[in-house]
């Protein structure tokens, strides 16, 4: 049973979004980190990179496989979680606490396409 945080928005590709001070804080769900297993590397974009909704902005790597990260919104990267560069396993420890990037959104209306916690819970079948 994986943890699902109330009040966040979720994508079908298992990213979560928290809107904070007008920025979209983006991470991956607890379900996703469990599926991946031990995360050994987080491939992140650079600050000022423009990313499109649904486009890959990085990847999580486990021993065995790489999983692309898809941006739930479009916008400009304003911050990346540098901590994860040296300690990628933090995503396993707490996938909600350890966000990956913060994005200044082009269009907050895109958030309407995401799921709430209940809908996401139903999607992963837990």
Residues that bind other proteins (CB under 8 A): 37-38, 40-41, 43, 56, 59, 61-66, 68, 85
Distance of closest approach, residue 58 Cβ to other proteins, in angstroms: 8
CB atoms within 10 A of CB 4: 19
Whichever of 21 and 64 has its CB closer to other proteins, that residue is 64
Please answer whether residues 70 and 54 qualify as being in contact, where contact means their C-beta atoms are separated by less than 8 angstroms.
yes
CA distance 8 to 17: 6
Whichever of 8 and 101 has its CB closer to other proteins, that residue is 101
Distance of closest approach, residue 41 Cβ to other proteins, in angstroms: 5
The H-assigned helical ranges of 1-126 are 30-36, 83-86, 90-93, 117-124
Whichever of 41 and 96 has its CB closer to other proteins, that residue is 41
Please answer whether residues 17 and 53 qualify as being in contact, where contact means their C-beta atoms are separated by less than 8 angstroms.
no
Distance of closest approach, residue 42 Cβ to other proteins, in angstroms: 9
Distance of closest approach, residue 77 Cβ to other proteins, in angstroms: 13
């Amino acid at each position: 049973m994986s943890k699902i945080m109330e009040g966040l928005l979720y994508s079908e590709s298992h990213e979560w979004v928290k809107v904070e001070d007008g920025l979209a804080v983006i991470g991956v769900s607890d379900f996703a980190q469990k599926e991946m297993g031990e995360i050994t590397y987080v491939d992140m974009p650079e600050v000022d990179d423009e990313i499109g909704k649904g486009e890959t902005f990085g990847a999580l790597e486990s021993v065995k496989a790489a999983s692309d990260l898809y941006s739930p919104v479009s916008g400009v990267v304003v911050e990346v979680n540098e901590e994860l560069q040296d300690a990628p396993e933090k995503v396993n420890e707490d996938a909600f606490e350890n966000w990956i990037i913060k994005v200044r959104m082009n269009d907050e209306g895109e958030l309407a396409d995401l799921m709430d916690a209940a809908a996401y819970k139903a999607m992963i079948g837990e």
